[in-house]
Structure 1
Amino acid sequence: MTTLKDLQIIIEDAVNKLNYPSHPADLYEPISYILSIGGKRLRPALVLMATDLFGGDINAAIPPALAIEVFHNFTLMHDDIMDNAPLRRGKATVHQKWNQNVGILSGDAMLVEGYKLMMQVNDAILRPVMEVFNITATAVCEGQQIDMQFEQQENVQLDEYLEMIRLKTAVVLGGALKIGALVGGADQPNADLLYTFGEQLGIAFQLQDDILDVYGDPEKFGKQVGGDIMANKKTWLLIKALETAQDENLQQLDYWLSVKQFDPAEKVAAVTAIYNNLNIKAAAEFAMQKYASAAYEALNNINLSTERKQYLYEFAESLLNRDK
């Protein structure tokens, strides 16, 4: 088996070799630009890892892996427009560097380029691979739309939130792994189990992200701690707190959610104190572990040796222990 780090290097090299037409420049240059500004390349590396897991040819998995990476960056390009985000990975977003219309049209072209790459899989598995890709792409769009609806929706239930993160985040991990498994020659039951592993791991990962936004070490987490609290973002922790808070805790939480002018550090400290009063962190960690356990169970049930699956166990551990 090839290590995740080595697979990421393979993907990075393949991304750098992607060539797009020079004309019209405003259509194709933004694609090269967003692909060049970094990212961990985890999703495409998982395609290669799944192929390798079942003894397949990693080189045959490079085009569909690139398709996953191109698709992922297409969603980022359009998400940045919807969020009016000025920066992506520390660089100007496409719509800031060019303009919004360029970002929309270039993103559309990027989606097509992703499909062209995915079409390069062997004809014998083309239909099932495209079915997974189509389901994944649609789910991500559904998840993004639901997430935007949450911004205007006063009451969000925990099951609604979990379904949103499944669609927006988790299905891409599951889809990448299942496509790689199919390229590697896996049978349908094992491919489905690997999809479940990725999907459940993706949900656990997002719950861990919610926890770390409040309780993480900013140097290890890589993001500003408390950003979700300052933005009143509907995370698992906030939804659970609203569901369980009473009396003074509820009054204080309602106050901090409604106040327009505030000191950021004071708001983060106050809301965190409410979470602590309600034992929200422990509840979130319990929920996260539930999905992590479901992921490990699916991985355990794949009909391969534990030794062969070791890198996937290590990958899961690295995702779910980012604060250690």
Structure 2
Amino acid sequence: MKIINRSLAHEIKATLFKKGPFLQLGIISQRCSLLLKLSFSFLLVAVQVHGQDSIDALHKRNQFRIGVGADYIKTADLMYSPNMFKSIRTNVQLGYSHKSTRGIFSSDLHVFLGALKTNSGSNIVIYAKESDIHGVESIEHLDLPISQIGFNLRLGYLHEVQQLRSSSKALYLGGSLEESLTYVPAFLSIGTINYASLNAKARFDYFLKNGKPVIFELATPLVSVVTRLPYHQSLGRPDESVLQTYFKGNNKVETLNHFQNTRFSVKYPVWVRKRIALDITYAVYWMHYSKPKHLTEAGSQVSLGFTF
């Protein structure tokens, strides 16, 4: 809850209507969530109907992956509020990997959007207070819809530890470069952050009797360049764009003592044809940054992907 004067409230309202496309993000996110649920149901039925024909798709040297998923996150951003916020974000995933005799090179791009609400499930409410010529005060409340949009790009290489290779397991160690942006096109930029990280990464493949692997991955940053809004949150300069001002003077080089971002995932190919594999992936992650005030985000993700 935030109390402001009425003129500022009308200015915010006018700004929101000018950014009409952004107002639709929450509605689009809800529709995408329904579409994802229907897609999941259809694909799970397909898994039950079709049997395993071949696992050739799992051993191809060059693999492309297209996926859709849903994230459930909770965010606490003390720059704006001591309260907790939550969101169900939909995302689209594109990936490419190249397998060699020594390791795996991979690249992944995730694009996401979702409406951000209070922990009770409602929109953020701003209260505007005004006094008339007789000194009588009136308060008007304004619902402030907030949506998060962003992307995540990862480029990585994992080297196989040959000494531990067997018919039932394989271990890979390596790292990745990651660029991620979470942006909120609204009056309150809750959760807005950009970071570029050098991550340590590990992967463990456990092969079942049917020849399919269960793939476990763990990644955490070693050093990162983190960009957040300043305390005053004023980015306007007459000679620069907002984007230029955001990335100019707000970048901090951080290690694990101030920036943590750990991700763990499990992937399993539930359906395999000769050239196509359908996988289901579950991931959990936790991100925390302490400057200029604490930002914490925790979440889980379920996604379905086609590898070909």
Q: TM exceeds 0.5?
A: no
Report the TM-score, using the length of structure 1 for normalisation. Answer: 0.24
Q: Hey, which of these two has a bigger chunk of strand by percent?
A: 2
Report the TM-score, using the length of structure 2 for normalisation. Answer: 0.25
Larger gyration radius, structure 1 or structure 2: 2
